[in-house]
Amino acid sequence: MKTLSERETGIADSIAAAERLKKEMGQMQAENEKIMADARDKPAQILKEAKEEYERIIGRAKDDTKSITDKMLIDAQQQIQQQKMAALTEVKNEIGKLSVDVAEKILRKQLATAGSQNEYAAMLAEEIKMN
């Protein structure tokens, strides 16, 4: 009987050990599956983060490019306006100079003789008297 009892105890111990091993194997398998799932998810996560970073960099580059382009456009418009004003001023000055030159030539021609000079002086004197 003693052997039978020892045998029963040995079997019971073996069954308990087998159940512990089975439980440990289940835990190890669950941990293994979790590690494998993490390993499968990691590349997808890295790819997602890389895509987000790419989109952020592209967005920033577009914003910077727009700012630079806008500034260049404003600068060009200001330069055009300044050149336009300078050209307009130059044209006005040239017109004024030409007007004075034409008036001088006309007066010289009209006042070429002494009689016309006296006549012009008399007309100016009359105008002064009226004012």
Start-to-end CA distance of the chain, whole Å, equals 158
CA 102 to chain centre: 55
Query: 112: domain range?
Result: 2-130
Domain count of the fold of the chain: 1
DSSP, res 112? S
The per-residue pLDDT for range 92-131, each reduced to its tens digit, is 999 999 999 999 998 888 878 878 888 888 888 888 888 6
- What is the pLDDT confidence band of residue 9, given thresholds at 50, 70 and 90? confident
The per-residue pLDDT for range 42-79, each reduced to its tens digit, is 888 889 999 999 999 999 999 999 999 999 999 999 99
**Bigger pLDDT: 18 vs 90:** 90
